Amino acid sequence: MKRYTHTAMALHWLMALLIPAMLTLGHYMHDLKLSPLKLQLYSYHKWLGVSLLLLALLRIIWRLTHQPPALYLPRWQQLASSAVHDLLYLLLIAIPVSGWLMSSAKGVQTVWFGILPLPDLLEKNEALGHLLGKVHGSLSSVLLILIIMHIAAALKHQFIDRDQLLSRMLPGTSATGNLP
Amino acid sequence: MNIMIKIFISALLLFASTVQAVEYQQFQVNQSALNFAYKQMGVNMQGKFKQFSAQMAFDPAKPVNARAHFEVNLASIATGSTDADEEVAGKLWFDAKTYPLASFTSTSVKALGANRYQVSGKLTIKGKTLDISTPVTIQTDGKRAIFDGSFNIKRLSYGIGTGEWADLSTVADDIQIVFHLIVFAAPVIPSPTH
């Protein structure tokens, strides 16, 4: 079984840690009463969101320039797999961008780590800000569902099919080794 | 001298003095703006007060006689979010139920030259009165006067944002107040023949 490159693995597992944390944080902070903690959490969420957007862009560039290891699966599974992966990539861009746009529309500029100001892409507009908030939340719910499908499929291959598919994304020694 | 003639002459004199010196004293609330700016988590934020009133009098020939008194309805704050508007009207911030108005009363006005004046006075917010002094640019064209300026206050010195909000790393202490005030010249007194 051929594996993904170490770079692809590092990006995958880093995002695998950060994205569930972000989904949880986003859901939690949204319902908080206004407090310094809420303002701090919103800022951290934005900083991490911009970081994840950059990681996603890096990852997509890497994916487009590096052939993933071949999959030997039934046709329907190949189609399902690429559909879920394409949607995942799409959401990894669309969710942070919708958050950035929401922040602009709500009149709160996004300043990455409190240092680097990102341009406001929209004029302040309360109704649009509210709408973008709904979009951001809905897309995040779709992402959560896709992540669950993604994990469920990986576990099915690992423990039911026992086809070693998961090892493509895991470092380790094998006869074929890692792709360059 | 006949009492009627006396009144007539006094009216005439009064008329003459008002024509000579244009005094700006008709405050135009709808054309004026009272905004503020501050930093929240390192991000520049802006807001405004929607309701405020003023009594002002300014004669460019006699700036030392100028006076101003402002009242700001603190609950009319617009921060850009409903949650925040409600929060800042609350006890920890303005406590607008107990102290609905902030006020400013001028104590002195000094000409600095080139349409600039140093205005000093007493600013009262949340029951605390502190002296402030700020340069103001005043442009006049005979019909209206435009007052522009800004000054900084430290929110904690007025007890604005106490308790959990006293942590200045979230909402900074410095609040910049930016004002743009339009004041029309006093109406011409009707001629005594009417």
Report B:54-73 residues touching A (Cβ under 8 A): none
Q: Which residues of A touch B87 (CB under 8 A)?
A: 34
Q: Residue B10 pLDDT more than 70?
A: no
Q: How many CB pairs under 8 A join A and B?
A: 40
Using the structure block, give the residue that is written with the tokens 């669309």.
A94
Kindly determine whether residue A36 and residue B165, on different chains, have CB atoms separated by under 8 Å. Answer: yes
Which residues in chain A are closer than 8 Å to B45, comparing Cβ atoms? Answer: 107-108
ipTM above 0.95, yes or no: no
pLDDT of A48 higher than 70: yes
B19 pLDDT higher than 90: no
pLDDT range class, residue B187, cuts 50, 70, 90: low
**Contact criterion met (CB below 8 Å) for A12 and A4:** yes
The Cα of B99 is separated from the nearest Cα of chain A by a number of Å equal to: 22
The answer to whether residue B7 sits within a structural domain is: no
- Asked if residue B190 is part of any domain, the answer here is no
Q: Which of A31, A51, A149, A150 is nearest to A99 (CA)?
A: A51
| Residue B16 counted as domain residue | no
The predicted-structure confidence for A69-96, as pLDDT tens digits, reads as follows: 988 899 999 999 999 999 999 999 999 9
- Residue B120 counted as domain residue: yes
The residues pairing with B185 across neighbouring beta strands, listed in sequence order, are: B24
Residue at B102 is within a domain: yes
Whether the CB of B163 is below 8 Å from some CB of chain A: the reply is no
Which domains can be identified in chain A, with CATH numbers? 6-169 (1.20.950)
Domain assignment present for residue B157? The answer is yes
Domain membership of residue B89 (yes or no) is yes
- Domains in chain B: how many in total? 1
Return the CATH number at B35. 2.40.128.110
> Is B11 within the bounds of a domain?
no
Give the tens place of pLDDT for each residue, B59-107. Answer: 888 889 999 999 999 999 999 888 899 999 999 999 999 999 999 999 9
Q: Where are the beta strands (DSSP E) in chain B?
A: 24-27, 33-40, 43-49, 52-57, 67-73, 77-78, 101-113, 116-125, 128-140, 144-154, 174-185
